[in-house]
Every structure is written in C-alpha cells, then in structure tokens.
Amino acid sequence: MNALVALCHFCELHGPRTLFCTEALHPPSPDPTSQVGTPLPGDRDADREGEGLTMRANSSATQRGEMCEGCRSLPSSHPGFVSIDEETGIRFLSHQHPRQSQLFSVVRQACVRSLSCEVCPGREGPIFFGDEQHGFVFSHTFFIKDSLARGFQRWYSIVLVAMDRIYLINSWPFLLRHLKLTIHSLQSTALKVFDSEQGVCPQRALRMNSVFSPAVFPHQRSGNAARSLTSLTQHPNLWASLHCSFSWLLKASGSRLTEKLLEGAPTEDTLVLIERQTEQEEEMSCWEGAEGGGSKSPLLQPDGKLGLEFLCDASKLEDLPGPKFRSLRHLRQVLGVNDFRQLAWHVLMGNQVIWRSADPGLIQSAFTVLKSLLPVGCVRSVPYSAQYEEAYKCNFLGLSPDVPIPVHVSSSEFSVLVDVTLKTCQGIAAGDDDICALYQFTISSANTQPTDRGPTLLNKLEVALSNENLSVDVVSHCLLCLKEEWMNKVKVLFKFSKVDGRGREDTQRVLTLLGATGPGEEDNVRLLKYWMTGLSKTYKSHLMTAVRGGERSPSQ
C-alpha cells in the first residue's frame, strides 16, 4: 500500500510530535539513474523474523532536533528497523521521522492536525481529513494512562497518510479494526503500570496536599512532562513490536484490495459481493467494539478470514473429500434428464432445495454447481444442518439423513427434497468416485405444475448440456451469458413495474418486448420476479435517485 503509518504524541512542553513512523519502499527501478528504493548502506541482519518479513536494522541517519524523553522514541544511536517482504521485495522502514524531507513535512502536518484541530467528539476515536496537496489522513486518537501527567493521561494518535482518498476510505473498517487492537494493547499495558505506580505512591492525594507556587510550577511540570512511551508501558521491545504491527498493516492493506480491469460496468453479482463484504466488515467492527477489543489484543495480529462463502467456485470442488459432482453436466448424467430438469426448475423458481445425505461433501458439491444457475443475490445457503431451517433463511439446505421434514414443507409445492441413500454393494472400493454406483437419489415434491415448458433459460441451458461437442467450460460461459441476458430483462422489468409503477397492461407489453411471453410464459414471469430479489442495493438506490432527480427537474 502506498501509505505511511505514524505514531504521534502531544508533548506538554513541545506540542504535537512524531514519535515513530513506518513507510514502504518499493523495489528499485531498472533505470540506473533512479534513486527511489536504493539499498540502504550498512544494513545488517537482526535476530527476529516476522511472517514473510525479514527483520533488519536500518543504519540511515535521522534528523533530530531538541526534544525531551517524551518526544523521543529511539535513542540517537539506534539505527531503526527494516522489514523486507520476500514476495514483493518491498521494504518497510521504521524510524522516528521519514527519510525524505517532503514526507517529513506531510507527516508533520498530519501529526499537528490529528492532535489539535481534527478531532472527533470525545477526543478519542477515528477521523478522516486531508486534501490533494498534502495527502489524506486516517487518524485515530487515544489516551495513555500516566500517573505523573496532568489529568493522569497523555494524548496520542496513530495516523495513516496516503494520496489515494478512495482507497483509504474503502479501507476504513479494516484499518479501524486492527488499529483498535494495537491501541487497546498499549492502553492495557500502560494501565497496569499506572495501577502499580498509584499503589506505591498515590499522586492524587499527593497533589491535593502539596503547596502550589507559581514560581516553582514550571520546574515541577518540566520533570513530569518528559516520560517516554516505553516508560509508560514498561515494554522492553515496544518499538520493534510497533514496527511489526505497522509493517503488517501496510502489507495487508495493500493486498486486501486489488485493481481489476473491467470491460464495462460491474455485474450485479460483483456489486452484491462487494455489498456483502462491506456489511460483514462493519458487523465485525461493531461486534469487536461491543466486546471491548476482546480478551487478547496483541500488537501484531494477522487478518483473519472473513468467514464468508458467498459463492463457491469450481476450484473449491477439488478440495472436497470423497465423491462429488464436478459440473452441471455431471449432475445431469447422475440424476437423469427428467429429475435434473425438475430440480433445476425448482432452483430457478426460487423454491427451497433440500438435500438429505450422510455425506456433507456430496451435498456441498451439489449446491456448488446448482448455485451457478442463480444470481449471487438470490443465493442463501446452509450447507449442512442438524435441524430444518425455514425457507426464508435459505433456499439451499443440507440435512443429515435422520432429520425429519415438517409436514407443511413436505406438502408444499414450493420445495423439493432430494434423499441420498447409500447402496448396499460389496464390490466398490472405499473412496470410489463413481457416484451412480455408490448412491441412490430420490427426488420428491408436492408441485403439480409441469416443469417441461419453461423457463426459456432452462430450455436453452439443456440444449447446451445435451450437446456433447461443447466442453464444460463452454457450457459455463453459455450459462453466464444467459444469466446476464435475463438479469438485464429483470432490470428493465424492475424499472418499469416497481419504480415507474406502470399498470398490468403496460407490464404485459414490456414482457412481450423482452421475449418472456409465449410457451413457458408463467415460468418466465416467476423467474423474473424472483430474480428481482437478487438485485443489488446499489442498483436499486441508483434507480430511485435517478427517478427523484427526474421528478424535480421540470419544476426547476
């Protein structure tokens, strides 16, 4: 990530000061005249190694002015730290001040603003500010307990400076979550030191009983104002730990969001995935905030997996143990043409698809290939459960064989049940991938409507699946094109019926123009209405905003 992380402190004698900063230095350019990223003289190996990072010492000199102990992080003789990302060759340098004078000015201004005018209510918490000239800043201010300080606390901030405003804003939940871990660790460590010092010599009672004299007040204050962060936390490797934390934060921030070349506007599936990821990150931030940062708050903690399985792709099928379905064509061959069409029809109509089997991997592989029939926004899956889940919670439900199906579900036309039983055969070796020889499939549903007329999308898909001259990859691209075609029809119908509020007669004309009438018209209309539920919030909000803007423009 093209950014810089800095720890800042408001000194009672010298004002806002930068204590410690970490910057990323990219590999040198092939151009021999380039000075960016040149190796630092005097690099030497250190004794510690991080995950994917090699710790080294940095012997570059740092500009230092007159400063007290509270304004100084590393001793003047300390060379600083360098971490090398072995995958990309990027170096992460840490010292009290940036190496380049231009960056020094940018960080200095961010430090002053974060600890003076740019603060959030309560003075503790995150805030965003900046401009195109001096960069954009994500700042999080916080207090550290100190028994000798005025008000028994000192003011600090962690700032992340970058020139890319959009990237920084999109990283807000991620940065907030991990900076809170670092801040909570610093505060909890300093609180223990504070409590121990107060137990030995309570400062509040001492100050109440001391005689205040304007003549000696500056001398009293100057002795208490110069406590370093190392003294407040009693952490012997504080700066090395902060270097690890800041280096990992820069590395993880740069790898979590990547740029992709998109030909045209993003698809609805892409928008829905982005919305779900954003919602998940916000929920995790709220949960961690409610938990108070958790019981463990190390200075360096890698980013855990989000735990979201939005839509399994074909590559994940190889990781599933035991027999599994490899594609829609394979599923069609195993179930048979009629049973596959009945199952696919229920999926496209939005009915609940229930599989009961003792093999969770088999169910997951079936759901993986069946979910490719739907837009991502229409998929709600529970891969394997010990109890029945209602249809409003999931439209794909995997159950163990002994789970009973409620009567109102088994008698409903809006669900289909696939029972998978193991055949009693003796000549099959364990782990054999021949699903037909291992399992027997029984499909049951209370639906009485014919499934052989439509929808049109299923008719075209079956033509592609039955054509053996088309490979599995070609069929997958064919299905992708069919889904995009019908999603465009869904958008038109949503705009016409839901946003504009047209009548039934006008809607019927639109359906005719969209090619949804004729044979299988009822199934086509059901599919379009069901797929409306999978439209992204971004698209719906855009349509409503455009309509309101159009209504206001004539009056203006």
Q: Find the mean pLDDT for residues 467-487.
A: 90
In the predicted structure, residue 23 carries a pLDDT above the cut 50: yes
Q: Which of 534, 552, 550 is nearest to 499 (CA)?
A: 550
Q: Find the mean pLDDT for residues 160-183.
A: 89
For domain 472-549, the question of CATH label 1.10.1060.10 is answered with no
Please give the pLDDT value at position 133: 82
Task: Specify the higher pLDDT residue, 333 or 289.
Answer: 333
pLDDT in tens, 63-86: 344 567 667 777 777 778 888 888
Beta-bridge mates of residue 45 = 56
Share of the chain above pLDDT 70, in %: 74
pLDDT tier at 316 (50, 70, 90 boundaries)?
low
pLDDT in tens, 245-292: 999 998 888 887 766 666 666 778 888 888 888 887 777 766 665 555
| Cα 56 to the center of its chain, rounded Å | 31
pLDDT tier at 463 (50, 70, 90 boundaries)?
very high
Task: Specify the higher pLDDT residue, 353 or 234.
Answer: 353
Distance, CA of 71 to CA of 67 (rounded, Å): 6
Count the Cβ atoms, other than its own, within 10 Å of residue 124. 15
Residue 24 phi/psi, 5° resolution? -100, 130
Please give the pLDDT value at position 77: 74
Range with the lowest mean pLDDT among 201-205, 390-394, 403-407?
201-205
Q: Which long-range contacts (CB under 8 A, 24 or more apart) does 104-110 make?
A: 104/63, 106/4, 106/134, 106/135, 106/161, 107/4, 107/6, 107/18, 107/21, 107/159, 107/161, 108/18, 109/134, 110/6, 110/8, 110/134, 110/135, 110/137, 110/139, 110/159, 110/161
Task: Specify the higher pLDDT residue, 135 or 432.
Answer: 135
Task: Specify the higher pLDDT residue, 208 or 306.
Answer: 208
**Which CATH fold would you assign to the domain 328-452?**
Rossmann fold (3.40.50)
Please give the pLDDT value at position 536: 84
Range with the lowest mean pLDDT among 86-90, 183-187, 211-215?
211-215
- Most confident range (mean pLDDT) of 328-337, 427-436, 508-517 is 328-337
pLDDT in tens, 294-304: 444 433 333 33
In the predicted structure, residue 525 carries a pLDDT above the cut 60: yes
Contact 496, 382 (CB under 8 A): no
Q: Find the mean pLDDT for residues 440-469.
A: 87
Task: Specify the higher pLDDT residue, 53 or 453.
Answer: 453
Please give the pLDDT value at position 196: 84
pLDDT in tens, 370-391: 999 999 889 999 988 989 999 8
Task: Specify the higher pLDDT residue, 539 or 248.
Answer: 248
CB-facing half-sphere around the CA of 493: CA atoms within 13 A: 27
Tell me how far CA of residue 392 lies from CA of 188, 206, 414, 447, 537, in angstroms. Answer: 44, 65, 12, 19, 19
Please give the pLDDT value at position 461: 92
Residue 119 DSSP SS3: coil
pLDDT tier at 544 (50, 70, 90 boundaries)?
confident
Please give the pLDDT value at position 548: 56
Q: pTM (2 decimals)?
A: 0.53
Contact 441, 418 (CB under 8 A): yes
Please give the pLDDT value at position 302: 36
In the predicted structure, residue 156 carries a pLDDT above the cut 60: yes
Distance, CA of 443 to CA of 103 (rounded, Å): 67
Q: Find the mean pLDDT for residues 189-218.
A: 66
In the predicted structure, residue 555 carries a pLDDT above the cut 70: no
Please give the pLDDT value at position 312: 41
Please give the pLDDT value at position 398: 93
pLDDT tier at 449 (50, 70, 90 boundaries)?
confident
Tell me where in the chain the CATH 1.10.10.1730 domain(s) lie: 472-549
Please give the pLDDT value at position 287: 64
pLDDT in tens, 99-153: 777 788 888 888 888 888 887 777 788 999 988 888 899 999 998 888 777 777 8
pLDDT in tens, 44-62: 333 333 333 434 434 333 3
pLDDT tier at 43 (50, 70, 90 boundaries)?
very low
Share of the chain above pLDDT 90, in %: 17
Computed over every residue of the chain, the mean pLDDT equals 77
Tell me where in the chain the CATH 3.40.50.12430 domain(s) lie: 328-452
The tokens describing 258, both together, are 């990547």
